[in-house]
Amino acid sequence: FEKDNFNLMNIAANRLMENSIFLENEEIFLISAILKDMANDYESIIAKNISILNSSKVIGKKMIAMIKANFNNEIDITKLWEEFQTFTENINEFQKDELESEVYSRNTEFTSITFKKMLKLLEENKEILKKKHNSLFNGILGVMIRIMKNHSCTLKETMVYLYFKLFSLLYNYVLEKNYNQNEKEISEEDYKEFLDPHVNFIIKHYLNNNIDFKKFNSELWLIGKKYRQLYLLYNRPKATITGVP
């Protein structure tokens, strides 16, 4: 992070993620997922406007300092999520261009409405995920990122966003597992094991008034476990949806 090598930061986060799965440590897994997302954010900033990198790193340093302070102690999941929420709100401001900053304003109610609509769309069309050539995941995640960037978000949306980022990586490897030029759909068995339960979980838990942090984190860890297991079994995706492996 200090040397602006965010690709290496992403690789380190992947290694930490694998270790957390071997150790069955859900708290360390969450840390690795956050670091991976941060690396993606800063790679995006470098690509779009490197002149704001140093100022944007100030908020990243706070996030990393918090992680370091708690890494060897008992990790407070709720506090970690809240700190990541603060980071997400602030880093999104750096992701806006000048026009977006002038036109869009903070409106978390609109963000919440949009997320509900997107999850409803997913619920009604989840069978489409069986088809190898579909843009459902890509479309939903793209809308979520755009709305969060332009109108900000609450902790709930930040949690759903990170869930979808990890879920999209799992989906990439499910597609890779089912890679066959002669088949248009993934197997029913893989759909039921890798996709359907996680779709149902996020729809149900977002619509609840309160999110159970421990249960949510356990589900994230399970997605990560499946994703990294498939990563070890198969090559890098031939066509990725979002993020990097």
Find the domain containing 138 and state its range: 105-245
Domain final residue, candidates 72, 95, 118? 95
Band of the pLDDT at 208, cuts 50, 70, 90?
confident
Let me know whether 207 and 149 are in one domain: yes
Instruction: Confirm if 223 and 167 have CB atoms less than 8 A apart.
Output: yes
Same domain, 158 and 216: yes
Contact 162/31 with Cβ under 8 angstroms? no
Final residue before a domain boundary, out of 95, 119, 147:
95
Claim to verify: residue 49 and residue 148 sit in the same structural domain: no
Q: Are residues 19 and 117 in the same domain?
A: no
58 and 138 fall within a common domain: no
| 73 lies in the same domain as 191 | no
53-67 per-position pLDDT tens digit: 888 899 999 999 988
Q: Is 38 inside any structural domain?
A: yes
Overall domain count for the chain? 2
User: With the CA atoms of 197, 198, 200 and 202 taken in that order, what torsion angle do they form, in degrees rounded to the nearest 10?
Assistant: 160
Residue 100 domain-assigned? Answer: no
150 and 230 in a common domain: yes
Residues 35 and 61 grouped into a single domain: yes
Q: What is the share, in percent, of the chain residues with pLDDT greater than 70?
A: 93
Average pLDDT over residues 119-134: 93
In a shared domain, residues 5 and 86: yes
pLDDT for 3-55, tens place per residue? Answer: 888 899 999 999 999 999 999 999 999 999 999 999 999 998 888 888 888 88
